[in-house]
A = this chain, B = another copy of it.
Amino acid sequence: MISFRSDYSQGAHPKVLEALLATNAEHTDGYGIDRHCERAADLVRDLIGVPDAHVHMTVGGTPCNVTFIAACLRPYESVIAARTGHAYFHETGAVEATGHRIVTVDGEDGKLTPALIDRAMEEYQDEHTPSPRLVYISQPTELGTVYSKAEMTALSEKCRKLGLILYVDGARLGAALTCRENDLPIRDLARLCDAFYIGGTKNGALFGEALVILRDELDDHFRWMIKRQCGLLAKGRLIGVQFEALLEGGENSLYYKIAARENVTAEILRSGLAGLGVKFYGNSPTNQVFPILPAPVVRELEKEFFFYEWAPERDGMIPVRLVAGWGTTAEEAEAFVSAVGQLI
Contact = CB atoms under 8 A, between A and B. Distances in A.
8 contacts: A6-B30, A11-B238, A17-B20, A17-B24, A96-B96, A101-B101, A127-B224, A130-B224
A94 B226 CA distance: 10
Contacts of A24: 10-12, 14, 17
A288 interface: no
A140 interface: no
B17 A235 contact: no
A150 interface: no
Number of copies: 4
Interface stretch (A55-63, A152-160, A313-321): A55-63
The 8 closest A-B pairs by CB, nearest first: A11-B24, A93-B130, A3-B27, A76-B224, A63-B230, A92-B227, A127-B223, A9-B27
Task: Give the dominant DSSP class at A's interface.
Answer: loop
A232 to B, nearest CB: 7
Contact of A230 (B20, B29, B221, B229): B229
Contact of A225 (B70, B76, B225): B76
Interface of A: 1, 3, 5-6, 8-12, 14, 17, 20-21, 23-31, 59-63, 66-67, 70-71, 74-76, 78, 89-94, 96-102, 104, 127-131, 201-202, 206-207, 220-221, 223-235, 238, 306, 327
Contacts of A1: 27
Contacts of A75: 70-71, 97-98, 225, 228
Contacts of A128: 90-92, 227
Nearest to A127: B223
Nearest to A237: B11
A181 B227 CA distance: 33
Given A75-B228, A93-B101, A127-B224, 15 more contacts: A9-B29, A11-B235, A60-B234, A63-B231, A74-B221, A76-B93, A76-B228, A91-B228, A93-B99, A93-B228, A96-B99, A99-B99, A101-B101, A131-B221, A207-B235
B11 A23 contact: yes
Contacts of A11: 20, 23-26, 235, 238
A3 B10 CA distance: 34
A74 B94 CA distance: 13
Contacts of A327: 25
Nearest to A88: B101
